[in-house]
């Protein structure tokens, strides 16, 4: 009866006994697709032949230059991606068990081997090795994902906000790319004079480089604000930093900064090539600063970003966000929400509820960073 070894394999046989080696070769010739066999008599010869092409290794652990588990460990180290099948004698069956515990996929007693058993053992060893490698990759991926999540969560800011007169909420959500941290960034800082400063920005592109650049810009923004450097001087410094840190000249950044006066009744905006904030004030919902103050950072060296002054009054809510929100597809087809659609949703909901708003727009195709500020009368 022929064996069931049906795929052509590249196999290395490490066996110093000519008779045993001949027996293995004869048995494997009966397979449906006889493997390509390379036979060596020692571990020294095996070192030169254990290349990436070898898919399975049959090894006798009684070799002239190494024996027992010492020989097995070297084979496993030399061929980490190959299945390893140990050949033992009747009196050494316990060695085969120890070999499996040490990392071999299986063992065979030479005196009990026939063509069918040998072919099946090789096939099963290959499948076990594939499963072992897949499990290792899965564990490594899970560990990497956990470490990345810890790192990325640590890079998200904690708002420096002392007043209780303003409700503050943020959301940072990945789009279809699935990473926790992208080029979007946000931050909120209250300075010693009582003014509240907010930024939401978006570095164009996706990936770790853009995420790192977004974090650098966010930290620079916070440092500049705390140092009292706001307005256009701050934006020019961020523009200089962006040009120094970006990987390519076509990388640009949009952002919106808001400074709320200490009395919380008025705000100053600078909309830097970014979607305008949505303001709810006296029952009216609108996008403020509809025309950007100026172009994105990183495009023009002589750009200017004039301030937009906005009266707020006693009771108001303001939503700053990145374009992941307005580029979300809503309803049937591929229609995007857009700024007008966002204003309509807020109006229909009777105010800004971040979770309800995000759940309504459905699947995000781009990353989203959002900051909601709300003031209610005392």
What confidence tens digit (pLDDT) does each residue in 186-228 have? 999 999 999 999 999 999 887 778 888 998 999 999 999 999 9
Higher pLDDT, 17 or 68: 17
Same domain, 114 and 168: no
Place of tokens 């969560």: 153
Residues in CB range of 116: below 8 A, 6 or more apart: 1, 2, 3, 4
| For range 327-351, the mean pLDDT | 83
Same domain, 126 and 268: no
Same domain, 161 and 132: no
Q: How many domains does the chain have?
A: 2
pLDDT for the residue 2: 43
Mean pLDDT of the residues in the chain: 86
pLDDT for the residue 3: 46
Residues in CB range of 196: below 8 A, 6 or more apart: 161, 163, 166, 188, 189, 190, 259, 260, 264, 373
Burial of 220 by CB count in 10 Å (0-12 exposed, 13-18 middle, 19+ buried)? middle
Instruction: Give the CATH number, domain containing residue 281.
Output: 3.60.40.10
Q: Name beta bridge partners: 318.
A: 279, 373
pLDDT above 90: percentage of residues in the chain: 39
5 belongs to a structural domain: no
pLDDT, tens digit (0-9, with 9 covering 90-100), for 236-264: 999 999 999 998 999 999 999 999 999 99
148 belongs to a structural domain: no
Give the least confident one: 47-51, 56-60, 268-272: 47-51
150 belongs to a structural domain: no
Same domain, 245 and 180: yes
Same domain, 219 and 355: yes
| For range 168-178, the mean pLDDT | 75
Same domain, 208 and 244: yes
User: Which residue, of 139, 164, 181, is where some domain finishes?
Assistant: 139
30 belongs to a structural domain: yes
Give me the sign of the Cα torsion angle 57, 58, 63, 67.
positive
Alpha carbon of 45 to those of 12, 13, 66, 187: distances in Å? 11, 11, 12, 63
pTM over 0.75: no
Band (pLDDT 50/70/90 cuts) for residue 155 is low
Q: CA 370 to CA 325: how far, in whole Å?
A: 8
pLDDT for the residue 152: 56
Band (pLDDT 50/70/90 cuts) for residue 177 is low
Band (pLDDT 50/70/90 cuts) for residue 148 is low
Same domain, 214 and 337: yes
269 belongs to a structural domain: yes
Place of tokens 């001949």: 22
| For range 311-335, the mean pLDDT | 85
Q: CA 239 to CA 252: how far, in whole Å?
A: 9
Same domain, 21 and 161: no
- Indicate left, alpha or beta for 255 from its phi (over 0: left) and psi (-120 to 50: alpha): beta
pLDDT, tens digit (0-9, with 9 covering 90-100), for 98-130: 888 888 998 888 888 888 888 888 888 889 898
According to DSSP, residue 206 is labeled -
Instruction: Give the CATH number, domain containing residue 92.
Output: 3.40.50.2300
**Does residue 128 contact residue 333 with C-beta atoms inside 8 Å?**
no
User: Which residue, of 105, 139, 173, is where some domain finishes?
Assistant: 139
Q: CA 85 to CA 82: how far, in whole Å?
A: 10
Q: Name beta bridge partners: 106.
A: 85
For residue 98, the number of C-alpha atoms closer than 13 Å in the C-beta half-sphere is: 12
Say whether pLDDT at 92 is over 50.
yes
3 belongs to a structural domain: no
Give me the sign of the Cα torsion angle 73, 75, 79, 84.
negative
Same domain, 83 and 226: no
Same domain, 162 and 128: no
Look up the domain containing 236 and give its range. 156-375
Same domain, 184 and 301: yes
1 belongs to a structural domain: no
Same domain, 30 and 78: yes
Higher pLDDT, 152 or 324: 324
| For range 161-171, the mean pLDDT | 92
Q: Which one, of 312, 313, 326, 305, lies nearest residue 370 by Cα?
A: 326
151 belongs to a structural domain: no
pLDDT for the residue 88: 84
């Amino acid at each position: 009866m022929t064996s069931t070894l049906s795929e052509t394999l590249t196999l290395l046989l490490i066996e110093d006994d000519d008779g045993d080696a001949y027996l293995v070769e004869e048995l494997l010739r009966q397979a449906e697709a006889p493997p390509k066999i390379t036979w060596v008599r020692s571990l020294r010869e095996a070192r030169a032949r254990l290349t990436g092409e070898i898919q399975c290794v049959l090894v006798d652990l009684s070799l002239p230059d190494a024996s027992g588990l010492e020989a097995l460990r070297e084979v496993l180290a030399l061929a980490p991606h190959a299945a390893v099948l140990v050949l033992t004698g009747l009196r050494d069956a316990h060695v085969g068990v120890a070999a499996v515990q040490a990392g071999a996929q299986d063992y065979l007693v030479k005196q009990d081997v026939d063509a069918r058993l040998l072919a099946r053992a090789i096939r099963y060893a290959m499948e076990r090795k594939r499963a072992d490698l897949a499990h290792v990759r899965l564990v490594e991926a899970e560990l990497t994902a956990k470490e990345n999540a810890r790192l990325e969560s640590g890079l998200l800011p904690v708002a420096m906000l002392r007043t209780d007169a303003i409700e503050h909420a943020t959301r940072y959500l990945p789009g279809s790319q699935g990473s926790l941290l992208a080029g979007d960034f946000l931050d909120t800082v209250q300075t010693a004079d009582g003014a509240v400063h907010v930024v939401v920005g978006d570095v164009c592109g996706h990936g770790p480089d853009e995420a790192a650049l977004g974090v650098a810009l966010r930290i620079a923004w916070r440092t500049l604000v705390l140092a009292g450097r706001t307005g256009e001087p701050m934006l020019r410094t961020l523009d200089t930093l962006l040009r120094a840190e970006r990987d390519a000249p076509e990388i640009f950044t949009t952002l919106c900064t808001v400074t709320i006066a200490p009395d919380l009744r008025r705000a100053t905006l600078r909309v830097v090539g970014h979607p305008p904030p949505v303001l709810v004030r006296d029952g009216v919902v609108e996008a403020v600063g509809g025309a950007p103050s100026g172009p994105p950072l990183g495009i023009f060296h002589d750009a200017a970003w004039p301030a937009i002054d906005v009266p707020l009054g006693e009771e108001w809510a303001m939503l700053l966000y990145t374009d992941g929100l307005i580029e979300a597809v809503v309803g049937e087809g591929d229609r995007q929400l857009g700024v007008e659609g966002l204003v309509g949703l807020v109006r229909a909901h009777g105010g800004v509820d971040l979770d309800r708003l995000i759940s309504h727009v459905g699947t995000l195709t781009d990353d989203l960073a959002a900051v909601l500020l709300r003031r209610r009368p005392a």
